Structure 1
């Protein structure tokens, strides 16, 4: 049982987050989208179906800033809201 401190022998290899894990938005890059989505939920009695557009825009923001893996919006359940261009980029 050697407990020697060999700091130089191992190097840290960063890797992307596992599917389903989301890094925190430490710099608040998507705060505006998150707040819009949460406000929509409160105004609609937390019925998420009423806030799908805001949810899509929030996820697009996270993907654009590498806070989550890039996924086709159709795969995330927003196939009916896609029109070939990002609404999140033009909304604000």
Structure 2
């Protein structure tokens, strides 16, 4: 029982996330993109591979409004969707 009351033996050292902060969108600046992404997921039975362009658009909105760190889309896994290829995919 004495070990349960020994709070001072180890101190927790918090560390920041690897990619920096990911603040909430308090003003709803990217709400439209988020809703489009979530609707896509629901319509496609949560198969996220089918909603990659919506995911990319949402993350791009967050980066544009400084709600997350600026990263190249290729580094986030959207290299195959850059250069207008995604538009042709979404119109099929």
- One fold, TM greater than 0.5? yes
Give the structure 2 partner of residue 77 of structure 1: 77
| Correspondence 1:37 to 2:11 | no
Stretches of structure 2 that go unaligned for 5 or more consecutive residues are: 1-16, 88-92
User: In 2, distance between residues paired with 1:74 and 1:24?
Assistant: 24
Runs of 4+ in 1 over 6 A off after TM superposition: none
User: Superposed, which structure 2 residues align to 1:80-91 within 5 Å?
Assistant: 80-83=80-83
Once the two structures are TM-superposed, the CA of residue 19 in structure 1 deviates from its matched residue by: 1.2
The change in CA–CA distance for 1:62 and 1:45 in structure 2 (over 3 A counts) is same
User: In 2, distance between residues paired with 1:21 and 1:41?
Assistant: 25
SS in 2 for 1:42: helix
Cα deviation 1:2-53 (Å, max 9, x = unaligned): xxxxxxxxxxxxxxx8615310000000000000000000000000000000
Give the structure 1 partner of residue 55 of structure 2: 55
Give the structure 2 partner of residue 19 of structure 1: 19
TM-score by length of 1: 0.70
